[in-house]
Structure 1
Amino acid sequence: RRLMAQWMGRVGFELNILADHVLGEILKGDRVFADETSLPTLAPGTGSAKKAWLWAYARDDTPFGGSGPPMVAYRFEDSRSGDCVRRHLGGYRGILQVDGYAAYNKLARKDGGNDGALLAGCWAHSRRRFYELHTTGASEVATATIEKMTELWALEATVRGQSPEARTAARQTVSAAIVAALFALWERTLPRISGKSKLAEALRYAMTRREIFERFLIDGRIELDSNIVERAIRPQTITRKNSLFAGSDGGGRTWATIATLLQTCKMNNVDPLAWLTLTLERIANQWPSAEINALMPWNYNA
C-alpha cells in the first residue's frame, strides 16, 4: 500500500503543473462556479482523522453559447475559511456563482466598485428548503413557491445555449414577473408566521439573498443555479465514501490534482485512462513546458 501511495504521489507531482493550468484557464472565463465538500484526512501522530476540504471551481460557457471547453479544478485545504477562496481566486473580477456560504463574500465586489467578483446566487439551494415543506404538505406557501420556481426552470430549458442577450430578453419577458411575485409572497408571509419555523428559515434564506438571486435577470451569462459545480463535486463525494479519508495533507493535495484532470476529461467526453496514459508518456519524454496547453484534456487527440 505504501508503494502504491508513493506512485500516486509521484503522478500528482508530475501533473500538478497541469492542474494549475486548468485553474488558470477557469479564471479567464466570464463566470466561475464554486462549491466545497468535506474530506476527512488523517492527522499525523493522532491516529484519527481531521476535517479538511476540497474546494471546487468549475467553468462551463455552453449554457450561454460560449465555445470554451468545460473544466473543473479542485484545491485541498484544511480550512473552510474565506481566506482559502481569496488564495485560490484572488484578483478574479468576473461572475462568481455560489451557494449561500458566507466565505465567498470575501471576494465580493463592493457596491459601485470594479474590484472583486460579482456574486450570483443559486436558486436550487433555496428551492430545496421549500421543497421539503412542499412534499409533506406542511405549507401552502411552500407549494406555491415550488410551482413558481418550476416555471423559472421551464423557461431556462428553452434558452439554454442561446446568447446572453437572448437569455436576458427572455428572462425579462417571463422570469422577472415570476421573481417579483415570489418575493412579494415571501414578504407578506414572513411577518405572519413563527420566526422559528422551517418556513421562516426558508423565507429568510431567500430574502436575505435577493440581490444575488435577481442578478440572473439582467445578465444572460448567469445560470439559475450552480448545478454545474455540484455535478463536479458529486464524484468526489462518492470517492470519499469508498476511500473513507485521505491519508495525509499531501495525499489530499494529490487527490485534488488528479481529480482536477480526470474530471475535466469526463466533462469533455475524453476517456480519463487513455488521456492519463498518453500524458504521462509525453511528460516522461520531456514534453516542452511551453506547450502545456496541448496536454489539456480538451485538446486530447489519441
Structure 2
Amino acid sequence: FFLLSRTYPDASWSHSRRKFYELHVAGSSEVATATVERMARLWQVEKTVRGQSPDARVAARQKASAAVVADLFDLWQQTLRRISGKSKLAEAIRYAISRRAIFERFLTDGRIELDSNIVERAIRPQTITRKNSLFAGSDGGGRTWATIATLLQTAKMNNVDPFAWLTVTLQRIANGWSSSEIDALMPWNH
C-alpha cells in the first residue's frame, strides 16, 4: 500500500469520507449521511480481514464490499445529476467519482488498504520530528537531529527498543568500538 499511496496520494477512501462527513455533521445532506453510513460498512469488512492473506482479503471484499462500492457510485451518479454543480455535496461527489478506478483497486488487490491511515499514523512522528528539527540551531545540528531520529525510527521498525539500543550503542562507541565494525551495531543486526 505504501507504494500505492506514494504513486496515488488521493487513493484513500478516508480522504473522500471526510468531505461527506463534514456535510453529514452539519446536517445539510441526506446523501452525505447515507454515504457515511454505507462507507462504514467498508471499514467493518476491513476490520474482519486485517492481517489475513491478500487472497482472503480479496474474497471477503468481493463478497461484502464490492456491492457497497457499486451502490455508492450509483448513488453519487444519480445525485450529481440533480444537484447544483457548485454545492459542497457536488464537490465531494466529483472528488470520489474522479477517483473511481483507484478507489476500486482494493477490491481486486488484497495487498492494498482501504485507506492510508496506517501509513499516515506511522509517519506522523517523523513529520513532527522533521518540523521540530528546523529549529535545531544550525545546519549541522539539524543533520545530527535527523540522523538520530532516523536511527531511532529504524530501531522501532526492527522491533528494537530505541532507548536501550541507543544507550548500548553509544556505550560501545565510547569504549572504542571499531569503526570498521559499525554495521554490527545497527538495529537490524539485533
TM-score clears 0.5:
yes
C-alpha displacement at 1:237, in angstroms? 5.3
Aligned equivalents of 2:10, 2:149: Cα separation in 1: 26
Considering fraction of residues, name the structure with more strand. 1
C-alpha displacement at 1:288, in angstroms? 4.3
Per-residue Cα deviation, 1:183-238 (whole angstroms, up to 9, x for no partner): 11111111222222211121111111111111110010111111122112333455
The size of the alignment, in residue pairs, is 188
Structure 2 CA distance for partners of 1:268 and 1:199, relative to 1, 3 Å: farther
Q: In terms of Rg, which structure is larger?
A: 2
1:292 aligns with 2:162: no
C-alpha displacement at 1:257, in angstroms? 3.5
Residue 105 of structure 2 is matched in structure 1 by 215
Q: Which has the higher contact order (CA 8 A, sep 6+)?
A: 1
What are the equivalent positions in structure 2 for 1:107-186 lying under 5 Å apart?
Answer: 121-186=11-76
Aligned equivalents of 1:97, 1:258: Cα separation in 2: 26
Aligned equivalents of 1:208, 1:293: Cα separation in 2: 49
C-alpha displacement at 1:258, in angstroms? 3.0
Aligned equivalents of 1:287, 1:244: Cα separation in 2: 30
Structure 2 CA distance for partners of 1:288 and 1:215, relative to 1, 3 Å: farther
Residue 96 of structure 1 is matched in structure 2 by 4
Aligned equivalents of 1:195, 1:253: Cα separation in 2: 49
Unpaired stretches in structure 1, ≥5 consecutive residues: 1-30, 34-94, 99-103, 106-118
- The amino acid of 2:178's aligned partner reads Q
Unpaired stretches in structure 2, ≥5 consecutive residues: none
Residue 45 of structure 1 is matched in structure 2 by none
C-alpha displacement at 1:167, in angstroms? 0.5
Structure 2 CA distance for partners of 1:288 and 1:151, relative to 1, 3 Å: farther
C-alpha displacement at 1:247, in angstroms? 4.5
Per-residue Cα deviation, 1:7-61 (whole angstroms, up to 9, x for no partner): xxxxxxxxxxxxxxxxxxxxxxxx4x2xxxxxxxxxxxxxxxxxxxxxxxxxxxx
Per-residue Cα deviation, 1:242-286 (whole angstroms, up to 9, x for no partner): 777455666555444433332344455543222222234455613
Structure 2 CA distance for partners of 1:288 and 1:176, relative to 1, 3 Å: farther
Considering fraction of residues, name the structure with more helix. 2
Counting aligned pairs with the same residue, the percent is 71
Alignment match of 1:198 (pick from 88, 101, 109) = 88
Describe the SS at the equivalent of 1:97: helix
Aligned equivalents of 1:210, 1:253: Cα separation in 2: 41
Whether the 8 Å contact between 1:133 and 1:199 is mirrored in structure 2 is: yes
Describe the SS at the equivalent of 2:4: strand
Whether the 8 Å contact between 1:120 and 1:222 is mirrored in structure 2 is: no
Aligned equivalents of 1:246, 1:130: Cα separation in 2: 40
1:229 aligns with 2:119: yes
Aligned equivalents of 1:176, 1:293: Cα separation in 2: 48
Aligned equivalents of 2:87, 2:139: Cα separation in 1: 41
Whether the 8 Å contact between 2:21 and 2:32 is mirrored in structure 1 is: yes
